[in-house]
């Protein structure tokens, strides 16, 4: 059987604009702006994705989504990629370039690889968690952008030791999957909707979000 790569999925863009998430009742925590990797303190998603999250949150009994990252420009994608690659190179000085590229790509898509649109560049990918009524993040077992085995979506289902994190991850995952989102295998905080990787995983013929920079006027 021939395996299809997500980059081979065709795109018929819906034309939805990006919307500013500060217009919604989410908790916004723009991590990459705070780290100096983005010049924009605002976060954006395709309008349909933002509205899906808004609809889910309306039925969460006072809990809210905290959103760390959403749409990225190619420049921001490159900044994140370079930072993580440099971190891995420092931590693993004996890795060659091929190994560095492989390991970096598990968590951050290359910004300028031919024929590849990084999921966040479409405005259809979001990094988020849940916060309780007290405004505190639920225990998910790792911090955002913890690049290691513990960040896999099912790590605490396969390894004992943190039942609370296991249950909280499942809660987050179920909320989004029930509304058609795709979970990421390596990052418990990352979900996709409408882009190529979502289309492949959910067996859709077409992606509805390609690369975009369009924002609502």
Q: What is the spatial distance between Cα 75 and Cα 111, in angstroms, rounded to a whole number?
A: 8
pLDDT at 113: 87
Burial 115-136 (b: 16+ CB within 10 A, else e): ebbbbbbbbbbbbbbbbeeeee
Domain extents in the chain: 6-207
| pLDDT tens string 116-149 | 999 999 999 999 999 999 999 999 999 999 988 9
Instruction: Kindly report the average pLDDT of the chain as a whole number.
Output: 93
pLDDT at 2: 37
Question: Which spans in 14-117 are helix H?
Answer: 31-34, 47-57, 74-91, 97-105
Cβ–Cβ under 8 Å, residues 211 and 199 = no
Q: What is the CA radius of gyration of the chain?
A: 17
Fold type of domain 6-207: Muramoyl-pentapeptide Carboxypeptidase; domain 2 (3.30.1380)
Range scoring the smallest mean pLDDT among 13-17, 97-101, 105-109? 105-109
- pLDDT band for position 192 (cuts 50, 70, 90): very high
Q: What is the spatial distance between Cα 207 and Cα 193, in angstroms, rounded to a whole number?
A: 9
What is the rounded (10 degree) CA torsion for 167, 59, 49, 140? -20
Cβ–Cβ under 8 Å, residues 212 and 122 = yes
| pLDDT tens string 41-99 | 999 999 999 999 999 999 999 999 999 999 999 999 999 999 999 999 999 999 999 99
Residue 188: closest CA among 76, 107, 134: 107
pLDDT higher than threshold 80 for residue 160: no
């Amino acid at each position: 059987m021939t395996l299809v790569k997500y980059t081979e999925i065709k795109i018929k863009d819906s034309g939805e604009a990006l919307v500013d998430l500060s217009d919604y009742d989410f908790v916004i925590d723009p991590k990459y702006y705070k780290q100096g990797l983005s010049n924009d303190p605002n976060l954006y998603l395709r309008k349909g994705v933002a509205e899906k999250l808004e609809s889910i949150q309306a039925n969460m009994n006072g809990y809210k989504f905290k959103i760390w990252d959403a749409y990225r420009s190619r420049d921001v994608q490159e900044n994140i990629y370079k930072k993580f690659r440099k971190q891995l190179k420092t931590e693993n000085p004996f890795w060659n370039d091929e190994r560095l590229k492989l390991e970096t790509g598990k968590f951050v898509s290359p910004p300028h690889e031919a024929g590849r649109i990084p999921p966040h560049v479409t405005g259809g990918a979001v990094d988020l968690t849940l916060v309780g009524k007290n405004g505190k993040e639920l225990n998910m077992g790792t911090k955002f952008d913890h690049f290691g085995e513990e960040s896999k979506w099912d790590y605490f289902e396969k390894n004992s030791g943190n039942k609370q994190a296991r249950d909280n991850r499942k809660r987050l995952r179920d909320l989004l999957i029930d509304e058609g989102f795709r979970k990421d295998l390596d990052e418990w905080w990352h979900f996709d909707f409408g882009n190529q990787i979502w289309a492949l995983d959910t067996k859709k013929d077409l992606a509805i979000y390609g690369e975009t920079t369009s924002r609502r006027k």
